[in-house]
Structure 1
Amino acid sequence: MNDLIKPENEPKLEPHPLTYRKQYISNRKMILFKKSKFSSLIEACKNPENCLELKLLSYDQNLKYQGEIFSKFVNLKVLEIQADTSIYYLNDFELPNEIASLKKLKKISVLNCPIQVFPEWITNIKSLEFLMLRGTDLASIPDSIFQLTKLKTLRIENCPLYKLPSTLYQLQNLKILGLTDTKLTNLDWNLFPSNLKEINFSGTGIYNIEDLINLKNKMKKPGYFHKTGY
């Protein structure tokens, strides 16, 4: 069978404009439906740049050895970690400081992790708007917390926290402050930001009732003031 010979100057057929549009829509759909929420480090590592939310529930390993993995989640916005009870008595548990390199992170929620010292590198995450450290062994918050200028919610709860940072009042975007189940006794109203809308002291230590009154008067919406038995 003879091969068909095409003329050298035969014009090339260009794809119809509708073909381009269909291909664009197809590619767009692929982008929109890429998985962005993960509950496993192994799965998230397969496409780290697509990971926007990472929720590790009942996690039973020491995360301090996973720093290299976390540094790959460059687009991460939400990080939630809930530890399994099997690791609660680890003396060397740490969150990897590589998390501080994630410039798009807006929310960190850590529950029941045996953290003994506040990870000060957290204060370098300038994009952070929500921070909760609950069920830890934290006794204090560093003064460098004032660097989180976008922070709107701060919850340091169910821990032996006994004092507040002297720079807390500088968090002028802070609206919600959770201090439940701590050992706080000093509630000097000068320590608190003036724009707070809600404070929760439920289950917290004993302090001067006059401090509570002064703090309530300072807040713009005292109706949001929460204190069990007050």
Structure 2
Amino acid sequence: MAIDTRAAVLTTESASAYLDWLQMLTGAGLILFMWSHMLLVASVNLGANAMNTLARFLEDTYMAQVGGPFIGATFLMHFVLAARKVPFRVEDQSSIWKHSKRLKHSDTWLWLIQAFTAMIILIMGSIHMWTILTDLPITAAKSAARIQDGFWLVFYLILLPIVEIHVGIGFYRIGVKWGLIKRKGRKNFKRFENILTGVFILIGLVTIIRFVTLTV
């Protein structure tokens, strides 16, 4: 009986470790996608034709048609995997909040921020992907017209910092969890991650302003 119990525990731990790896891989993939996506959309700052050329290339090679649903599926898979460790019951949330205040541990607060932003991204990110993928082809003029609508301008001004903060924290936490960032290097890496997050938010804001001012 004891052997069966130990075997069950080992099987559970093995499955959990596998899911942790899958969560890390999907998270890392989404981080790379978001940074690439930001830079591709920011091509509009070089001119509408620059963005249109890139968008046409992605669609002519079916990268948009195939890659879009694939990213969406990866996005949902990552959320499901991460949700295993997110407290959804009010009692559990209250307990986590009390422990976080008592511990005063910055990395614990980062986890809470990441969990909170994930809930918002799940809803707003799904709306964004559905809107884009059901309205192909992508063009600078079409994107500008959408953002010049008051609702979408506010929508992206909220989504932009939330996504970049979530991605930045995820980038840092992957490095810490998997031993890529040692304890003595955490402070410097946090500073680097904050600067990187700020740079991408700035790029996003400049791009939004460009869309707002683009003649359609």
TM tier relative to shorter chain: under 0.3
Query: Relative to total residues, which structure has the larger strand share, 1 or 2?
Result: 1
Greater Rg by CA: 1
Q: TM-score, normalized by length of structure 2?
A: 0.21
Whose RCO is larger (CA < 8 A, sep 6+)? 2
